[in-house]
Structure 1
């Protein structure tokens, strides 16, 4: 519903399929009436891998980035700035890993469907990836990476920074009762 409403615009500037919902409740009603409950979950095949890939990139890169920053000795050992820098590096990896899945999910969510609720453009996640790559090239999978980073970057940086600081506090408390 969110994606279809965000993509909706006047015909003069419209890009892609337009669903023309009157609002949130109208969109829910129309999708449910025409496609059933399954229609409300269309595109989830792109959203679930998106979160999996993003979490994996976040976890895999933060520890390595933090170690790298510590080795360079840019900041005092144990400083919160080390975790901040590690989070900043990790946030770039998260945006790079997640953006192709954002593009694919958006295409799956927003495509027109036939009377059975089957997508008219893409058969699923892999088909969507392949078609985008073949017709538009690899860079098409990174459309919107700037806005994606502006959304994902601060969340990743702050989450990792707070997690690291809370982890250090917990360790100190457990070891020293401080």
Structure 2
């Protein structure tokens, strides 16, 4: 039941934050491996990107990739939050004295994230392809011509087999390790501290909401460089054997980006990432926490 509730919570958040994911993806691909000032900026900031995409591609384009995004969130976060919730419920994250252990919490969050992200990697890759697709006048990055999620998965599988479907999966894991461990560790630690300090009444929904807000800020700062590299790894063109033509792996993507675009290039789309990851983290963790509380209350 923990896995189902976790997946549903993440899907609920995804419906509201997917337009920001579309904006984030395009801003991260804009000016890929080009020095600042040498390319045309189709998207100047988050708000301009929203306006441009809506004007050129149509308002429906702001929800591009929604189907794979929902499926990925259900798979990834169902496994991630569900596994973490089971570890927490069984006391694996606490010391012998009953206090929350940040190292154990971070390790559990990272391990749970890796499991979910690796299994959902083909869905995430297709989501990235679909969200990057745009009219030629505002296109950035490599443009795949998929017609939908199932068509894309079928085409990639037929051309490159299982290896092609899981292309970039290992490179995407550092993003999830950093993001998941930071998110769940800061959420649990902040929630624990607030309960100890009695800032809000016991069992108040405000505790979970405030802890999720703190967690959202931490996740964006820690994960953005890896998120930029991951987006580019998944979206790069491939040869006949399904091998990427631009990057050899996550480290190569990070180094090339830093060398050609500077340190700020590694934080492209951070505004969209914050507006997307912040609310998504807040909503998914809050929904997850409240659903678990309701379930365990009525299960008794």
**TM bucket by the smaller chain?**
0.7 to 0.9
Q: Structure 2 matches for 1:125-140, cutoff 5 A?
A: 125-140=250-265
**Which residue, out of 186, 210, 214, partners 1:61?**
186
- Say which structure, 1 or 2, has more relative contact order (CA 8 Å, 6+ apart): 2
State which of 75, 82, 85 in structure 1 corresponds to 2:210. 85
> Which residue in the other structure is 2:152 paired with?
27
1:122 maps to 247
The residue that corresponds to 2:279 in the other structure is 154
1:37 aligned residue:
162
Q: What CA distance in whole angstroms lies between the structure 2 residues aligned with 1:15 and 1:163? A: 35
TM-score, normalization by structure 1: 0.76
- What is residue 6 of structure 1 aligned with on the other side? 131
SS for the counterpart of 1:117 is: coil
> Is 1:17 equivalent to 2:150 in the alignment?
no
Asked whether 1:50 is paired with 2:175, we answer yes
Q: Which runs of 5+ in 1 are unaligned?
A: none
Q: Alignment length, in residue pairs?
A: 174
Listed one character per residue, the Cα deviations across residues 52-97 of structure 1 (whole Å, up to 9, x for unaligned) are: 2222101322244346656887645764423322221111111222
Change (3 A) 1:77 1:133: same
Q: Deviations over 1:89-114 (max 9, x none)?
A: 11111122232222112111111112
Whole-angstrom CA distance in 2 between matches of 1:33 and 1:163: 37
> Structure 1 pair 158/113, CA: closer, same or farther in 2 (3 Å)?
closer
Structure 2: distance between partners of 1:97 and 1:82:
23
Structure index of larger Rg: 1
Distance in 1 separating the partners of 2:202 and 2:182: 25
Q: Is the Cα contact below 8 Å between 1:50 and 1:102 reproduced in 2?
A: yes
